[in-house]
Amino acid sequence: MGRLGFLNASGDISSLKNSQTFRFIVLEKPRNDYAKITINRPEVMNALNMDTRREIMKALDIVENEDDEARAVVLTGAGEKAFSAGADISMFKEMTPFLAKEYLKIAKGAAKRIFDFPKPVIAAVNGYAIGGGLELAMACDMIIASKNAKFGQGEINIGIIPGVGGTQRLPRILGLHKAKELIFTGELINAEDALKLGLVNSVVEQSELMKSVEELISKISSKSPLILRLAKEALNRSASGLEESLDFESVLFQFCFASEDQKEGARAFLEKRKPVFRGK
C-alpha cells in the first residue's frame, strides 16, 4: 500500500511517526492509486479553521514525499451535509486587518498548495461548498458533486468579500457577470445549475459519489504521471495573471476588517440574526 503513514484499505496503520498527528482531517489510502483527505469537522459543517488548512497542507506533503503509488488525491468532507461550509466565522469576530493578513497566509497557502500540487486533486463535494469551502474546491483540478450539493460565495452576508480566491477563480470559471451575481447576492446554486455553468465536472447520486470519483481516477491512473504533471503545469499557466489578482484580492479582504459592517456581520452570524449594515 505504499509508504504513507495513515489508514490504508485494510485498516492498518504504518509506523510513521506522523501517522496520528491530525485533529481535523483524516488521511487515508482507500486504493493503491489515490489518497483521500477528508475534512473531519461534521459537527460544524466541516468549517475551515487555521489548523484544518495547515493539516491539509501537511497531508499533501506526505502524499507527495512519501508515496510513489498515489496518482491522484481526493478532497472531501465528512458526513453527507457538507464538503465545507466555509471559514470558521468565530475567527472573524475580533479580526483586524493585520490578523486578516496572517489568516490569508495560511488560507491562501492551502489553496495554492492544492492548485500547484504535482498530481491531480479532485474535490468530491458531498453537500454544501460555501465561501472558503467553494474556494478550496475551485483550487482543485476537478469537482465531482452529489445531487444534494450546493455552492455559493456567501461572504457578503457577513460583511466581507471572498478572500481566498473567490473573486478571481469564480469569474474565470463562470464568467464575470454570473460571478458578480453570486458574490453580490450571496445566494446559493444547486448541483445541476453548477453543472450547467461549468463549475463542476459531473453530478451523481450521493451514494455513487466516491464510485464515480474512483472511476475517474482509474482513467487518470492509466496515464503517464510525468505527462500528467506537465499537463497540469501547462493548464495552470493558462491562468496567467492569477497571482497578481489574488494579491489584490488580499488587500481588499484585509480592508474589510477595518469596517464596522464586518464586525456586525460576524456578530449577527454567530448570534443567528439578520445583520444591520450601515456602510461604515
Catalytic residue numbers read 135, 155
Cβ atoms of residues 108 and 152 within 8 Å: no
The distance in angstroms from the start CA to the end CA of the chain is 56
| Chain CA centroid to CA 181, Å | 21
Give the CA radius of gyration of the chain.
18
Closest CA to 45 of 96, 74, 79: 79
Cβ atoms of residues 25 and 39 within 8 Å: yes
Local structure of residue 83 (DSSP, 8 states): E
Contacts of 2-6 spanning 24+ positions with Cβ under 8 A: 2/29, 2/32, 2/66, 2/67, 2/68, 2/69, 2/70, 3/66, 3/67, 3/68, 4/29, 4/35, 4/62, 4/63, 4/66, 4/67, 4/70, 5/62, 5/66, 6/62
